[in-house]
Structure 1
């Protein structure tokens, strides 16, 4: 990688240089990218944790509330749809729903059309918490991306989308994210 004087060096540059010194034939392009992504992910995860904590939520709580909020009015989904959207087991989801019911952020009810179907609905308090947390999250993400500028941020999103496109979309194999009786 050719580096101009305006580009700062970082820890990854030193790591890649050390590997090149030890294994000169090693191609380190992936290391340049993925080592930085790995380090950046920990910073981003901390910003997410802080954004949710400002509103008394853990990341897992936000994930469930956000899935319900994105579903639109009446802000309800089946537990199976929540499992599909949050990528956890059904047992884990049952536990999470129980904890959110205790906090009165969601309620669980039977479907009027088929009592065998359980629906999880966002309460007004859950909607307030989800909306406030997502606003905090977006503000923090904007701060992280500010170093790139608007064009750089759009370019990064485009490039990451290309990388992710080579992997199957979990939505294609999971049940519909909006089951309704």
Structure 2
């Protein structure tokens, strides 16, 4: 990016890399600039998401449940096992997270007709509203950041990042790695 006189503007990463380039002659300064800037942007986006969650009164794990149910499409419901798999959680960890959402009226758990053993988790109208409010708040923070780029620059950046994501999601042999195993909840084992 250039300032009004056409001079290239520097950011904190330029200054850090200039120092390290003098100290580490083997370092690729362009690679370092890319990786460091991705890290800064990742932290920025995490903070805007935390701020949006804080303002909406949702914990990150609660929002993820609402998000996954919303992704299912109408009627915004699925079975607990499928939901746990989507979230990478154990069934017990998911059950512990569903309780507060149900108490808040954001989800309901119902039994399937004819088989009371089969449970469905469904997003309520209040849950859809909470999800939409949070998503709009998150959207505003992301849009503010990307407003520094033109539409064409955003498309170019999206294409370049896609290439990197595909490289990260593909194993050395060109195949997709196995999906991660469900994580244990922090409360497990206590």
Give the alignment's TM-score, normalised by structure 2.
Answer: 0.79
Task: Name the counterpart of 1:55.
Answer: 56
Distance in 1, matches of 2:155 and 2:88, equals: 27
Deviations 1:120-170 (A, max 9, x none): 111111111111111221122111110112222222221111111121568
Task: Name the counterpart of 1:65.
Answer: 66
**What secondary structure does 1:115 align onto?**
strand
Larger RCO: Structure 1 or Structure 2 (Cα < 8 Å, ≥ 6 residues apart)?
1
Task: Name the counterpart of 1:118.
Answer: 119
Deviations 1:65-113 (A, max 9, x none): 1111121111101223223333333333222112211211111122225
Distance in 1, matches of 2:52 and 2:17, equals: 33
**What secondary structure does 2:149 align onto?**
helix
Distance 1:84 1:33, change over 3 A: farther
Residue 140 (1) aligns with residue 141 (2): yes
* Alignment of structure 1 residues 22-171 onto 2, 5 Å: 22-112=23-113, 114-166=115-167, 167-168=169-170
Task: Name the counterpart of 1:178.
Answer: none
Distance 1:95 1:20, change over 3 A: same
Task: Name the counterpart of 2:186.
Answer: none
The CA RMSD over aligned residues, in Å, is: 2.3
- Structure 2, gaps ≥5 residues long: 171-175, 181-190
Give the alignment's TM-score, normalised by structure 1.
Answer: 0.82
1:173 Cα deviation after fit? 4.7
Q: Which moved more, 1:85-94 or 1:59-68?
A: 85-94
Distance 1:90 1:31, change over 3 A: farther
1:40 Cα deviation after fit? 1.3
- Structure 1, gaps ≥5 residues long: 175-181
